[in-house]
């Protein structure tokens, strides 16, 4: 007699932090038991698997928060995505602490000798405790009169996060459009975009006169509303629907676009962001964004 049970509508993706652990058969079996899932498919041996399962909160599948917490103890990220439309046609990514491993304005301030003062404002802004635009103006104002050569010094400290190149290059190879949209500065985003291969980049502009920072930002300021506007513009401009878009970021200024994208990923995010966004990468790298879309490691473009 044919199996009359409904086909799984979702996919549970487990990804282990390769620096801390390995995804074993016991982990996978436990995930199947918790989720009521079907046979697993290996995406990367010892690192990533996908398990077809019911929607979170239905049948045997618990809501994602307790499931995520269960595997977090083993340095394993658990993300549930809809089975249909997994591979996205658009990537909109934040830069600071997402594509790169630092906050570039904080690094700039550190070279200027006021790092701690500005870093505290950044922390409050990224956790939603301060208005983004006001925080940006305050931080940039503290740099007034300082040499623009500090920008080059700060650039030397910038490092791409693991998986950034693979994420952008793999999605582009498979036909996706990629955009770097940052509340940071074009001095950095232009270079990061070129290094990663993003199709386009958008950010704020630091105003410079006679080789010194003026302490002002060019208008209009690119904040949370502008990030969302870029997401909507790109979806419409490429003839897509929002379900075909992926957004990734870590701060409160990313929340609007993370909420609206078909798949919004909170990447090593601030508490205020983790509180709202279900799909979280807390232990692993940007490779997880590819696994979430069903790419196997063998498909990655390095």
Place of tokens 């909170």: 266
In this predicted model, which residue has the larger pLDDT, 115 or 160?
160
Question: 185 by DSSP, 3-state: which?
Answer: strand
> What residues are labeled active site?
94, 96
Q: In the CATH hierarchy, which top-level class contains the domain 10-82? A: alpha beta
Give pLDDT, residue 2.
42
The predicted pLDDT at position 127 comes to 85
Q: What is the pLDDT of residue 1?
A: 38
pLDDT digit string, tens, across residues 148-170: 999 999 999 999 999 999 999 99
Looking at the DSSP bridge assignments, the partners of residue 200 are 179
The sheet with strand 76-82 has its strands ordered as: 41-44, 48-53, 10-16, 76-82
Domain ranges of the chain: 10-82, 90-102+159-299
Reported for 151-157, long-range contacts at CB under 8 A and 24+ positions apart, including other chains, are 151/108, 151/187, 151/206, 153/111, 154/104, 154/107, 154/108, 154/110, 154/111, 154/188, 155/187, 155/188, 155/191, 157/102, 157/107
**Which fold, 90-102+159-299?**
Rossmann fold (3.40.50)
Q: What digits encode the pLDDT tens for the residues 15-32?
A: 999 999 999 999 999 999
- The predicted model gives 275-283 an average pLDDT of 96
- Tens of pLDDT along 233-271? 999 999 999 999 999 999 999 999 999 999 999 999 999
The pTM score is 0.94
- Of 34-38, 44-48, 148-152, 282-286, the one with minimum mean pLDDT is 34-38
The two three-digit tokens of residue 143, written as one number: 């740099």
In angstroms, the CA 1 to CA 168 distance is 46
How many Cβ atoms sit within 10 Å of the Cβ of residue 213? Answer: 22
């Amino acid at each position: 007699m044919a199996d009359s049970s409904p086909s799984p509508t979702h996919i549970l993706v487990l990804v282990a932090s390769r620096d801390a652990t390995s995804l074993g058969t016991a982990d996978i079996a436990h995930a199947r038991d918790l989720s009521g899932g079907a046979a697993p498919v290996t995406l990367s041996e010892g690192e990533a698997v996908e398990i077809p399962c019911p929607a979170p909160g239905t049948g045997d599948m618990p809501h994602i928060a307790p499931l995520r917490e269960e595997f977090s103890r083993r340095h394993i990220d658990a993300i549930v995505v809809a089975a249909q439309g997994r591979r996205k046609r658009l990537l909109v990514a934040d830069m600071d602490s997402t594509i790169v491993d630092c906050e570039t304005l904080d690094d700039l301030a550190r070279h200027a000798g006021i790092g701690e003062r500005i870093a505290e404002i950044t922390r409050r802004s990224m956790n939603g405790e301060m208005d983004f635009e006001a925080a940006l103006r305050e931080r940039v104002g503290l740099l007034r009169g300082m040499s623009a050569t500090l920008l080059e010094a700060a650039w030397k400290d910038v490092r791409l996060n693991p998986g950034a190149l693979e994420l952008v290059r793999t999605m582009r190879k498979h036909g996706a459009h990629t955009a770097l949209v940052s509340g940071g500065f074009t001095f950095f985003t232009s270079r990061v975009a070129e290094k990663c291969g993003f199709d386009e980049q958008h950010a704020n502009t630091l105003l410079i006169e006679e080789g010194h920072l003026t302490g002002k930002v060019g208008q209009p300021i690119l904040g949370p509303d502008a990030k969302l506007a870029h997401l909507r513009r790109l979806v419409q401009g490429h003839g897509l629907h929002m379900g075909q878009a992926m957004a990734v970021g870590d701060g409160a200024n990313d929340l609007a676009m993370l909420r609206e994208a078909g798949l919004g990923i909170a990447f090593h995010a601030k508490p205020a962001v983790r509180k709202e966004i279900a799909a979280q990468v807390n232990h692993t790298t940007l490779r997880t964004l590819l696994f979430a879309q069903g790419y196997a490691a063998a498909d990655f473009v390095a």
